[in-house]
Amino acid sequence: MQSATLARPILAATGLAHEVAGAFGDIGVFLPLALGLIAVNGMDPTLVFGLAGAYYLLTGRFYRLPLPVQPFKAVSAIAIAGGLSAGTVQGAALGMSVGLLLLSLGRAPAIIDRLFAPPVVRGIQLGLGIILLQGGLQLVVRDQRLPAGAGTIGAGALLLAGVMAVALVQARGRVPAILVAGVVGLIWGALTLPAALPPVSLGPVLALPVLPTAAELGTALAVLVLPQLPLTLGNSVVSTAAVAQEYFGERAVRVTPRTLLRDMGLANLAAGLGGGIPMCHGAGGLTAHVRFGARTATAAYVAGVFYLVLAVGLGAAAPAFLALFPMAMLGVLVGYVGWQHLLLVRRLSAPADLAVAGLIGAVTLVAGSLALGFGVGLAVYWGRRLAIARISRKPT
């Protein structure tokens, strides 16, 4: 998927109110995955939100555009579903950092830009959607006793409530449906678990980050980095550069595969050493920001300040908050993110392209490996392209 040629931007400027609204256009992706990593994997909420906020501010300052900051989705889904340790999640950030920085050197960015054709990118997103749906389902069917130990709730009823909330608000299209589903979960938790909750204390969690062990690093490389890397190259690098140039024209001159590889590599080095979660950009997140009105770096600054406020003001309150939030509802939110990724395959129209994307998704589902699905799909796509090229060169 070669990056689009720089052209005039297709978006009109908006006012401050739209920039503020656009700042929260991608919150429905960030919060469910971040909360899942905090609740299930034991990540430090102050470090998670603090580093994310700082990354948003630096991203806005460098690119001067509303580029999103998101958790790595494959890493998040696999880590949440498997209940992996916080150190393993940090190890994934370090592993991704090394890989991305190495791939930013020489001609590698240009090769990546050409290698990841649209059917391959959509197939990776389809496979990711399957992984997220599976992870969400596991959160729904697991033991629903909450961190506070205050009682057990009905997963089926919560699933129904979450699906209904998402469907209702999505049909109206006025606010992010996923936010309403989250509010429903909090209200349900407050009504069904009125006692024995942890005390609420405001302020940050003052704890030093702990580096991952050698065993955690090994697990991270094999289980998390391997399936995440192709997704990052296709969606966070190639697609993000192309979509940014399509939306913003010459204003997106800095959004290139090489700069994206470098900035995500450095950000994940900081996250891995500083106790944060692995983070990236994304074409879908950029579209979400734009759809809600973001046009400039102002939206990135607003989002960055918002997450810094969460880190400093509410980090210590995370246990009480998560005790109110049913795991089944968190599963609905994670599953909703997966469903949104599944729908991206509709942007393909040619039967051959749909077949490649479907193959990647099918292999991911059957083999349980996004990396394997990517490899098979990539081989089939380029094998077919080479075969067609050879046939066309033969004399008639």
Task: Name the phi and psi angles at 279, rounded to 5.
Answer: -135, 155
Using an 8 Å Cβ cutoff, are 34 and 71 in contact?
A: yes
CA distance linking residue 53 with residue 114, whole number of Å: 32
Q: 346 vs 202, 352, 355, CA distance in Å?
A: 44, 13, 12
Give Rg (Cα) of the chain.
21
Burial of 55 per CB tally in 10 Å (0-12, 13-18, 19+): buried
Using an 8 Å Cβ cutoff, are 281 and 236 in contact?
A: yes
CA distance linking residue 221 with residue 210, whole number of Å: 18
Using an 8 Å Cβ cutoff, are 263 and 55 in contact?
A: no
Task: Report pLDDT digits (tens) over 59-87.
Answer: 999 999 999 999 998 899 899 888 999 99
Task: Report pLDDT digits (tens) over 346-379.
Answer: 889 999 999 999 999 999 999 988 889 989 999 9
Does 179 have pLDDT greater than 80?
A: no
Using an 8 Å Cβ cutoff, are 29 and 288 in contact?
A: yes
CA distance linking residue 335 with residue 326, whole number of Å: 14
Confidence of residue 211 (pLDDT cuts 50, 70, 90): very high
**Full DSSP string of 155-175:** HHHHHHHHHHHHHHHHHHTSS
Task: Name the phi and psi angles at 234, rounded to 5.
Answer: -75, -45
CA distance linking residue 273 with residue 209, whole number of Å: 7
Q: Model's pTM, two decimal places?
A: 0.79
Strands 70-71 and 279-280: antiparallel
- Ranges of each domain in the chain: 16-344
Average pLDDT of 193-219?
Answer: 75
The CA-based diameter of the chain, rounded to the nearest angstrom, is: 81
Burial of 5 per CB tally in 10 Å (0-12, 13-18, 19+): exposed
Does 172 have pLDDT greater than 70?
A: no
